[in-house]
Structure 1
Amino acid sequence: MELTEKQKYFFEYLTERIAEDGRAPSLRQAALDMGVSHTAVAQLMTQLERKGMIEREGHYGRTIRLFSKSRRHQQSGRGRELPIIGQVTAGLPMYAQQEWEGAVVVDDSLFAGENLFCLRIRGESMRDAGILNGDLVVCEPRQYAENGEIVAVLITGEEATVKRFFLYSDHIELHPANKDFQVICYPFSEVLVQGKVTGVIRGKNSEFDGGGE
Protein backbone atom coordinates (compact mmCIF):
# COMPACT_ATOMS: atom_id res chain seq x y z
CA MET A 1 0.00 0.00 0.00
CA GLU A 2 1.32 3.41 -0.95
CA LEU A 3 1.65 6.21 1.58
CA THR A 4 -0.32 9.43 1.44
CA GLU A 5 1.60 12.72 1.39
CA LYS A 6 0.89 13.25 5.10
CA GLN A 7 2.11 9.76 5.92
CA LYS A 8 5.29 10.24 3.85
CA TYR A 9 6.01 13.55 5.60
CA PHE A 10 5.46 12.02 9.03
CA PHE A 11 7.63 8.99 8.23
CA GLU A 12 10.46 11.30 7.10
CA TYR A 13 10.02 13.33 10.29
CA LEU A 14 10.29 10.17 12.42
CA THR A 15 13.37 9.05 10.50
CA GLU A 16 15.13 12.37 11.15
CA ARG A 17 14.20 12.56 14.84
CA ILE A 18 15.24 8.97 15.56
CA ALA A 19 18.55 9.55 13.75
CA GLU A 20 19.19 12.69 15.84
CA ASP A 21 17.85 11.63 19.25
CA GLY A 22 18.14 7.85 19.19
CA ARG A 23 14.43 7.36 19.82
CA ALA A 24 11.08 8.56 18.56
CA PRO A 25 9.58 11.81 19.87
CA SER A 26 6.62 11.74 22.20
CA LEU A 27 3.20 12.26 20.64
CA ARG A 28 3.06 15.67 22.32
CA GLN A 29 6.44 16.73 20.89
CA ALA A 30 5.57 15.43 17.42
CA ALA A 31 2.30 17.37 17.50
CA LEU A 32 4.17 20.57 18.43
CA ASP A 33 6.83 20.04 15.76
CA MET A 34 4.31 19.35 13.02
CA GLY A 35 1.69 21.87 14.07
CA VAL A 36 -1.09 19.30 14.32
CA SER A 37 -3.17 17.80 17.11
CA HIS A 38 -2.10 14.99 19.42
CA THR A 39 -4.91 12.88 17.93
CA ALA A 40 -3.66 13.47 14.38
CA VAL A 41 -0.18 12.24 15.32
CA ALA A 42 -1.63 9.13 16.99
CA GLN A 43 -3.66 8.39 13.85
CA LEU A 44 -0.62 8.80 11.60
CA MET A 45 1.37 6.45 13.83
CA THR A 46 -1.36 3.82 13.62
CA GLN A 47 -1.64 4.22 9.84
CA LEU A 48 2.11 3.74 9.35
CA GLU A 49 2.05 0.68 11.59
CA ARG A 50 -0.82 -0.84 9.61
CA LYS A 51 1.07 -0.29 6.37
CA GLY A 52 4.16 -2.02 7.72
CA MET A 53 6.35 1.11 7.80
CA ILE A 54 6.96 1.07 11.56
CA GLU A 55 6.76 -1.33 14.49
CA ARG A 56 6.14 -0.14 18.04
CA GLU A 57 6.95 -1.84 21.34
CA GLY A 58 3.68 -1.33 23.15
CA HIS A 59 0.83 0.91 22.04
CA TYR A 60 2.32 3.99 23.71
CA GLY A 61 5.96 2.96 23.51
CA ARG A 62 8.60 5.32 22.11
CA THR A 63 10.79 2.48 20.84
CA ILE A 64 9.98 2.35 17.13
CA ARG A 65 11.53 0.33 14.31
CA LEU A 66 11.40 1.87 10.85
CA PHE A 67 11.10 -0.35 7.78
CA SER A 68 12.11 0.46 4.22
CA LYS A 69 9.77 0.06 1.27
CA SER A 70 11.77 -2.92 0.03
CA ARG A 71 11.34 -4.64 3.41
CA ARG A 72 7.59 -4.14 3.18
CA HIS A 73 7.46 -5.72 -0.28
CA GLN A 74 9.37 -8.73 1.04
CA GLN A 75 6.84 -9.16 3.84
CA SER A 76 3.76 -8.77 1.64
CA GLY A 77 1.65 -11.61 0.38
CA ARG A 78 1.68 -13.75 3.53
CA GLY A 79 -1.57 -15.37 4.59
CA ARG A 80 -3.20 -15.02 7.98
CA GLU A 81 -6.26 -16.67 9.48
CA LEU A 82 -9.07 -14.52 10.86
CA PRO A 83 -11.83 -16.04 13.02
CA ILE A 84 -15.46 -15.67 11.95
CA ILE A 85 -17.47 -14.88 15.08
CA GLY A 86 -21.19 -15.56 14.85
CA GLN A 87 -23.47 -13.54 12.59
CA VAL A 88 -24.58 -9.93 12.62
CA THR A 89 -27.90 -8.70 11.29
CA ALA A 90 -27.53 -5.51 9.24
CA GLY A 91 -30.99 -4.06 9.69
CA LEU A 92 -32.34 -5.59 12.89
CA PRO A 93 -30.00 -6.54 15.75
CA MET A 94 -29.64 -10.22 16.56
CA TYR A 95 -27.90 -12.25 19.22
CA ALA A 96 -24.12 -12.36 18.62
CA GLN A 97 -22.57 -15.72 19.38
CA GLN A 98 -19.15 -15.43 20.97
CA GLU A 99 -18.03 -18.61 19.22
CA TRP A 100 -16.13 -19.19 16.02
CA GLU A 101 -18.27 -20.43 13.17
CA GLY A 102 -15.17 -20.85 11.05
CA ALA A 103 -12.16 -18.92 9.81
CA VAL A 104 -10.99 -17.22 6.64
CA VAL A 105 -7.44 -16.88 5.30
CA VAL A 106 -6.59 -13.41 3.98
CA ASP A 107 -3.54 -11.67 2.53
CA ASP A 108 -1.59 -10.20 5.45
CA SER A 109 -0.68 -7.15 3.36
CA LEU A 110 -4.35 -6.26 2.87
CA PHE A 111 -5.54 -6.62 6.46
CA ALA A 112 -3.01 -5.34 8.99
CA GLY A 113 -3.62 -5.09 12.72
CA GLU A 114 -3.71 -7.25 15.82
CA ASN A 115 -6.52 -9.61 16.87
CA LEU A 116 -8.70 -8.91 13.83
CA PHE A 117 -11.94 -10.82 13.59
CA CYS A 118 -14.74 -11.24 11.05
CA LEU A 119 -18.51 -11.03 11.35
CA ARG A 120 -21.00 -12.27 8.77
CA ILE A 121 -23.67 -9.82 7.62
CA ARG A 122 -27.34 -10.59 7.12
CA GLY A 123 -29.55 -7.89 5.64
CA GLU A 124 -29.22 -4.88 3.37
CA SER A 125 -29.17 -1.91 5.76
CA MET A 126 -25.50 -1.11 4.98
CA ARG A 127 -25.80 -1.66 1.21
CA ASP A 128 -24.81 1.88 0.20
CA ALA A 129 -21.54 1.54 2.12
CA GLY A 130 -20.69 -1.54 0.06
CA ILE A 131 -21.60 -4.03 2.80
CA LEU A 132 -24.04 -6.59 1.40
CA ASN A 133 -26.02 -9.54 2.67
CA GLY A 134 -23.68 -12.49 3.24
CA ASP A 135 -20.47 -10.43 3.33
CA LEU A 136 -17.79 -10.88 5.94
CA VAL A 137 -16.74 -7.62 7.58
CA VAL A 138 -13.23 -7.43 9.02
CA CYS A 139 -13.14 -5.68 12.40
CA GLU A 140 -10.35 -4.17 14.44
CA PRO A 141 -11.18 -4.72 18.14
CA ARG A 142 -11.85 -1.50 20.02
CA GLN A 143 -14.35 -0.17 22.53
CA TYR A 144 -14.71 3.35 21.16
CA ALA A 145 -15.63 4.97 17.85
CA GLU A 146 -15.32 8.31 16.08
CA ASN A 147 -18.45 9.87 14.62
CA GLY A 148 -19.18 8.51 11.16
CA GLU A 149 -17.17 5.31 11.52
CA ILE A 150 -18.77 1.97 10.72
CA VAL A 151 -18.59 -0.24 13.78
CA ALA A 152 -19.83 -3.54 15.15
CA VAL A 153 -21.74 -2.91 18.37
CA LEU A 154 -23.46 -5.05 20.95
CA ILE A 155 -26.92 -3.86 21.93
CA THR A 156 -27.98 -4.39 25.56
CA GLY A 157 -25.01 -6.65 26.06
CA GLU A 158 -26.17 -9.52 23.87
CA GLU A 159 -27.28 -8.34 20.43
CA ALA A 160 -25.07 -7.05 17.66
CA THR A 161 -25.36 -4.92 14.56
CA VAL A 162 -23.12 -3.05 12.10
CA LYS A 163 -23.91 0.64 11.61
CA ARG A 164 -22.38 4.11 11.35
CA PHE A 165 -21.79 5.47 14.84
CA PHE A 166 -22.70 8.97 16.03
CA LEU A 167 -22.27 10.15 19.62
CA TYR A 168 -24.38 12.99 21.03
CA SER A 169 -24.52 14.60 24.46
CA ASP A 170 -27.45 12.49 25.64
CA HIS A 171 -27.63 9.47 23.33
CA ILE A 172 -26.00 7.37 20.61
CA GLU A 173 -27.35 7.10 17.07
CA LEU A 174 -26.71 4.13 14.78
CA HIS A 175 -27.19 5.08 11.13
CA PRO A 176 -27.88 2.63 8.30
CA ALA A 177 -26.46 3.14 4.81
CA ASN A 178 -29.75 2.47 3.07
CA LYS A 179 -32.63 4.96 2.85
CA ASP A 180 -35.13 2.15 3.41
CA PHE A 181 -33.95 1.80 7.02
CA GLN A 182 -34.30 4.24 9.90
CA VAL A 183 -31.75 5.76 12.26
CA ILE A 184 -31.93 4.08 15.67
CA CYS A 185 -31.28 5.98 18.93
CA TYR A 186 -30.01 4.35 22.12
CA PRO A 187 -29.01 5.48 25.61
CA PHE A 188 -25.32 5.12 26.37
CA SER A 189 -25.91 2.12 28.63
CA GLU A 190 -27.33 -0.03 25.83
CA VAL A 191 -24.49 0.24 23.29
CA LEU A 192 -21.09 -1.43 23.57
CA VAL A 193 -18.68 -0.92 20.67
CA GLN A 194 -16.89 -4.17 19.78
CA GLY A 195 -14.77 -3.12 16.82
CA LYS A 196 -14.27 -0.81 13.86
CA VAL A 197 -15.05 -2.27 10.44
CA THR A 198 -11.87 -1.94 8.37
CA GLY A 199 -12.73 -4.04 5.34
CA VAL A 200 -15.16 -6.34 3.58
CA ILE A 201 -14.49 -9.82 2.21
CA ARG A 202 -16.71 -10.56 -0.76
CA GLY A 203 -15.72 -10.51 -4.43
CA LYS A 204 -13.05 -8.72 -6.40
CA ASN A 205 -15.42 -5.83 -7.19
CA SER A 206 -16.39 -5.04 -3.61
CA GLU A 207 -16.20 -1.43 -2.46
CA PHE A 208 -16.21 -0.11 1.07
CA ASP A 209 -16.65 3.36 2.56
CA GLY A 210 -15.94 3.11 6.26
CA GLY A 211 -15.56 6.79 7.16
CA GLY A 212 -12.90 7.99 9.57
CA GLU A 213 -9.44 8.22 7.99
Structure 2
Amino acid sequence: MLTRKQHELICFIADRLAETGVSPSFEEMKEALDLKSKSGVHRLISALEERGFLRRLPNRARALEVIKMPERPEAKKAAKTVQPTAPSRLPQPANDVIEIPLHGRIAAGVPIEALEGATMLPVPAALLGAGEHYALEVAGDSMVEKGILDGDYALIRRTDVARDGDIIVALIDDNEATLKTFYREGAMVRLDPANRAYDPQRYAADQVRVQGKLAGLLRRY
Protein backbone atom coordinates (compact mmCIF):
# COMPACT_ATOMS: atom_id res chain seq x y z
CA MET A 1 0.00 0.00 0.00
CA LEU A 2 1.56 3.31 -1.09
CA THR A 3 1.17 6.64 0.61
CA ARG A 4 -0.51 9.43 -1.33
CA LYS A 5 2.83 11.13 -2.07
CA GLN A 6 4.44 7.85 -3.17
CA HIS A 7 1.49 7.21 -5.48
CA GLU A 8 1.68 10.75 -6.90
CA LEU A 9 5.43 10.42 -7.53
CA ILE A 10 5.33 7.05 -9.32
CA CYS A 11 2.48 8.31 -11.53
CA PHE A 12 4.36 11.55 -12.30
CA ILE A 13 7.54 9.65 -13.26
CA ALA A 14 5.62 7.14 -15.40
CA ASP A 15 3.69 9.90 -17.19
CA ARG A 16 6.90 11.84 -17.93
CA LEU A 17 8.63 8.71 -19.26
CA ALA A 18 5.65 7.96 -21.47
CA GLU A 19 5.64 11.54 -22.78
CA THR A 20 9.36 12.23 -23.30
CA GLY A 21 11.27 9.01 -22.64
CA VAL A 22 13.27 10.87 -19.96
CA SER A 23 12.60 10.67 -16.24
CA PRO A 24 12.03 14.05 -14.53
CA SER A 25 14.75 15.81 -12.55
CA PHE A 26 14.67 15.89 -8.77
CA GLU A 27 13.79 19.60 -8.95
CA GLU A 28 10.82 18.85 -11.22
CA MET A 29 9.65 16.09 -8.89
CA LYS A 30 9.96 18.40 -5.88
CA GLU A 31 7.85 21.07 -7.58
CA ALA A 32 5.26 18.62 -8.92
CA LEU A 33 4.64 17.17 -5.45
CA ASP A 34 4.91 20.55 -3.70
CA LEU A 35 7.73 19.34 -1.45
CA LYS A 36 9.99 21.71 0.47
CA SER A 37 13.30 20.01 -0.38
CA LYS A 38 14.88 17.41 -2.64
CA SER A 39 15.58 15.23 0.40
CA GLY A 40 11.84 14.47 0.47
CA VAL A 41 12.09 13.26 -3.14
CA HIS A 42 15.04 11.03 -2.20
CA ARG A 43 13.03 9.44 0.61
CA LEU A 44 10.03 8.80 -1.64
CA ILE A 45 12.21 7.25 -4.36
CA SER A 46 13.97 5.03 -1.80
CA ALA A 47 10.59 3.86 -0.47
CA LEU A 48 9.37 3.07 -4.00
CA GLU A 49 12.60 1.16 -4.66
CA GLU A 50 12.13 -0.90 -1.49
CA ARG A 51 8.58 -1.75 -2.56
CA GLY A 52 9.68 -2.83 -6.02
CA PHE A 53 8.01 -0.03 -8.01
CA LEU A 54 11.17 1.83 -9.13
CA ARG A 55 14.76 1.02 -9.98
CA ARG A 56 17.69 3.40 -10.32
CA LEU A 57 19.82 2.50 -13.33
CA PRO A 58 23.51 2.07 -12.45
CA ASN A 59 26.07 4.55 -13.82
CA ARG A 60 23.34 6.87 -15.09
CA ALA A 61 22.66 9.79 -12.77
CA ARG A 62 18.99 10.26 -11.91
CA ALA A 63 17.92 7.64 -14.50
CA LEU A 64 14.85 5.83 -13.19
CA GLU A 65 13.01 2.77 -14.47
CA VAL A 66 9.40 2.07 -13.53
CA ILE A 67 9.16 -1.65 -12.78
CA LYS A 68 5.48 -1.80 -11.90
CA MET A 69 2.61 0.61 -11.39
CA PRO A 70 0.10 0.84 -8.56
CA GLU A 71 -3.52 0.68 -9.56
CA ARG A 72 -4.81 4.17 -10.29
CA PRO A 73 -8.28 5.18 -9.03
CA GLU A 74 -9.62 5.51 -12.58
CA ALA A 75 -8.29 2.05 -13.40
CA LYS A 76 -10.28 0.55 -10.52
CA LYS A 77 -13.51 2.01 -11.89
CA ALA A 78 -12.78 0.84 -15.43
CA ALA A 79 -11.98 -2.67 -14.21
CA LYS A 80 -15.66 -3.18 -13.33
CA THR A 81 -16.70 -2.96 -16.98
CA VAL A 82 -13.57 -3.30 -19.14
CA GLN A 83 -11.17 -6.21 -19.17
CA PRO A 84 -7.60 -5.48 -20.27
CA THR A 85 -6.63 -7.13 -23.54
CA ALA A 86 -2.87 -7.12 -22.97
CA PRO A 87 -0.40 -5.92 -20.33
CA SER A 88 0.86 -2.40 -20.93
CA ARG A 89 4.51 -1.97 -21.79
CA LEU A 90 6.37 0.50 -19.62
CA PRO A 91 8.46 3.12 -21.42
CA GLN A 92 12.19 2.63 -21.39
CA PRO A 93 14.20 5.46 -19.80
CA ALA A 94 16.46 7.45 -22.12
CA ASN A 95 18.39 9.74 -19.80
CA ASP A 96 21.22 10.47 -22.22
CA VAL A 97 21.60 14.06 -21.02
CA ILE A 98 21.00 15.55 -17.59
CA GLU A 99 21.45 19.04 -16.21
CA ILE A 100 23.74 19.87 -13.27
CA PRO A 101 24.41 23.25 -11.59
CA LEU A 102 27.23 25.33 -13.07
CA HIS A 103 28.90 27.25 -10.23
CA GLY A 104 31.13 29.83 -11.92
CA ARG A 105 34.84 29.55 -12.62
CA ILE A 106 37.55 27.76 -10.66
CA ALA A 107 41.28 28.40 -10.86
CA ALA A 108 43.60 25.73 -12.15
CA GLY A 109 46.43 28.17 -11.38
CA VAL A 110 46.46 30.29 -8.25
CA PRO A 111 43.29 30.22 -6.10
CA ILE A 112 40.46 32.57 -7.02
CA GLU A 113 37.18 33.26 -5.28
CA ALA A 114 34.63 30.52 -5.89
CA LEU A 115 31.61 31.89 -7.71
CA GLU A 116 28.06 30.63 -7.25
CA GLY A 117 25.44 30.75 -9.97
CA ALA A 118 22.07 29.34 -10.95
CA THR A 119 23.06 28.29 -14.49
CA MET A 120 22.44 24.65 -15.44
CA LEU A 121 24.83 22.72 -17.68
CA PRO A 122 23.60 19.80 -19.87
CA VAL A 123 25.93 16.81 -19.38
CA PRO A 124 25.97 13.32 -20.97
CA ALA A 125 24.81 10.96 -18.24
CA ALA A 126 27.56 8.48 -19.17
CA LEU A 127 30.17 10.92 -17.79
CA LEU A 128 28.68 10.79 -14.30
CA GLY A 129 28.35 7.99 -11.83
CA ALA A 130 26.37 7.80 -8.62
CA GLY A 131 26.08 10.78 -6.32
CA GLU A 132 25.36 14.49 -6.59
CA HIS A 133 27.34 16.51 -9.12
CA TYR A 134 28.01 20.09 -10.15
CA ALA A 135 30.23 21.78 -12.75
CA LEU A 136 32.89 24.48 -12.64
CA GLU A 137 34.51 26.27 -15.57
CA VAL A 138 38.31 25.94 -15.44
CA ALA A 139 40.38 29.12 -15.50
CA GLY A 140 44.15 28.77 -15.89
CA ASP A 141 46.69 26.27 -17.14
CA SER A 142 48.24 24.69 -14.06
CA MET A 143 46.54 21.30 -14.68
CA VAL A 144 47.41 20.95 -18.38
CA GLU A 145 49.59 17.88 -17.81
CA LYS A 146 46.48 16.11 -16.52
CA GLY A 147 44.62 17.14 -19.69
CA ILE A 148 42.60 19.86 -17.91
CA LEU A 149 42.66 23.01 -20.03
CA ASP A 150 41.53 26.60 -19.64
CA GLY A 151 37.83 26.82 -20.56
CA ASP A 152 37.07 23.16 -19.82
CA TYR A 153 34.11 22.30 -17.63
CA ALA A 154 35.18 20.22 -14.61
CA LEU A 155 32.42 17.82 -13.54
CA ILE A 156 32.63 17.42 -9.78
CA ARG A 157 31.09 14.78 -7.53
CA ARG A 158 30.23 16.28 -4.16
CA THR A 159 32.24 14.81 -1.28
CA ASP A 160 34.11 16.14 1.73
CA VAL A 161 36.79 13.43 1.85
CA ALA A 162 39.71 12.68 -0.44
CA ARG A 163 42.62 10.28 -0.75
CA ASP A 164 46.17 11.07 -1.79
CA GLY A 165 46.30 11.49 -5.56
CA ASP A 166 42.68 12.56 -6.00
CA ILE A 167 42.02 15.67 -8.13
CA ILE A 168 39.78 17.78 -5.93
CA VAL A 169 38.07 21.12 -5.55
CA ALA A 170 39.75 22.60 -2.48
CA LEU A 171 38.13 25.49 -0.63
CA ILE A 172 40.87 27.50 1.04
CA ASP A 173 40.11 29.65 4.09
CA ASP A 174 36.39 29.31 3.26
CA ASN A 175 36.43 31.79 0.36
CA GLU A 176 38.84 30.68 -2.39
CA ALA A 177 38.63 27.54 -4.50
CA THR A 178 41.14 25.75 -6.67
CA LEU A 179 41.41 22.51 -8.64
CA LYS A 180 44.50 20.52 -7.67
CA THR A 181 45.81 17.05 -6.81
CA PHE A 182 45.46 16.35 -3.11
CA TYR A 183 48.17 14.99 -0.77
CA ARG A 184 48.58 14.90 3.01
CA GLU A 185 51.91 15.83 4.60
CA GLY A 186 51.55 15.29 8.34
CA ALA A 187 49.54 18.23 9.69
CA MET A 188 49.70 19.95 6.29
CA VAL A 189 47.87 19.55 3.00
CA ARG A 190 49.74 19.81 -0.30
CA LEU A 191 47.89 20.81 -3.45
CA ASP A 192 49.89 19.87 -6.53
CA PRO A 193 49.56 21.49 -9.96
CA ALA A 194 50.15 19.52 -13.14
CA ASN A 195 52.36 22.08 -14.84
CA ARG A 196 56.11 22.42 -14.25
CA ALA A 197 55.75 26.20 -14.28
CA TYR A 198 53.81 26.13 -10.98
CA ASP A 199 54.89 25.16 -7.48
CA PRO A 200 52.89 23.00 -5.09
CA GLN A 201 50.74 24.89 -2.57
CA ARG A 202 50.92 23.93 1.12
CA TYR A 203 48.35 24.81 3.77
CA ALA A 204 47.52 23.84 7.32
CA ALA A 205 44.93 21.06 7.24
CA ASP A 206 42.29 23.27 8.88
CA GLN A 207 42.65 25.83 6.05
CA VAL A 208 41.48 23.40 3.38
CA ARG A 209 38.05 21.84 2.92
CA VAL A 210 37.38 19.25 0.23
CA GLN A 211 34.36 20.31 -1.86
CA GLY A 212 34.34 17.44 -4.33
CA LYS A 213 36.37 15.15 -6.61
CA LEU A 214 36.82 15.37 -10.35
CA ALA A 215 34.42 12.99 -12.10
CA GLY A 216 34.85 14.09 -15.72
CA LEU A 217 35.50 16.90 -18.18
CA LEU A 218 33.57 18.65 -20.93
CA ARG A 219 35.36 20.63 -23.62
CA ARG A 220 34.05 23.04 -26.25
CA TYR A 221 35.69 23.31 -29.69
* Cα separation, 1, equivalents of 2:205 and 2:116: 22
| Deviations 1:127-161 (CA, angstroms, capped at 9, x unpaired) | 01011001110000000111001000101000000
2:110 maps to: 92
Amino acid at match of 1:50: N
* Cα separation, 2, equivalents of 1:76 and 1:145: 32
1:122 maps to: 139
The answer to whether the 8 Å contact 2:107/2:140 transfers is: yes
1:40 maps to: none
Amino acid at match of 2:59: R
* Aligned residue pair count: 137
* Cα separation, 1, equivalents of 2:60 and 2:94: 10
1:148 maps to: 165
The answer to whether the 8 Å contact 2:60/2:130 transfers is: no
* Cα separation, 2, equivalents of 1:109 and 1:122: 25
1:105 maps to: 122
| Deviations 1:163-202 (CA, angstroms, capped at 9, x unpaired) | 0000121200000001010001000111000000111100
CA shift at 1:76, angstroms? 5.7
* Cα separation, 2, equivalents of 1:98 and 1:104: 13
TM-score by length of 2: 0.57
CA shift at 1:89, angstroms? 1.1
CA shift at 1:51, angstroms? 6.5
TM-score by length of 1: 0.59
1:181 maps to: 198
Q: Which runs of 5+ in 1 are unaligned?
A: 1-47, 56-73, 205-213
Amino acid at match of 1:116: H
Amino acid at match of 2:153: L
Q: Highest CA radius of gyration, 1 or 2?
A: 2
Amino acid at match of 1:202: R
Q: 1:79 aligns with which of 97, 115, 126?
A: 97
1:50 maps to: 59
Q: Which runs of 5+ in 2 are unaligned?
A: 1-56, 65-91
CA shift at 1:114, angstroms? 2.7
- When residues 149 and 76 of structure 1 are mapped into structure 2, their CA distance, relative to the original with a 3 A threshold, is farther
* Cα separation, 2, equivalents of 1:82 and 1:51: 13
The answer to whether the 8 Å contact 1:124/1:132 transfers is: yes
1:172 maps to: 189
1:68 maps to: none
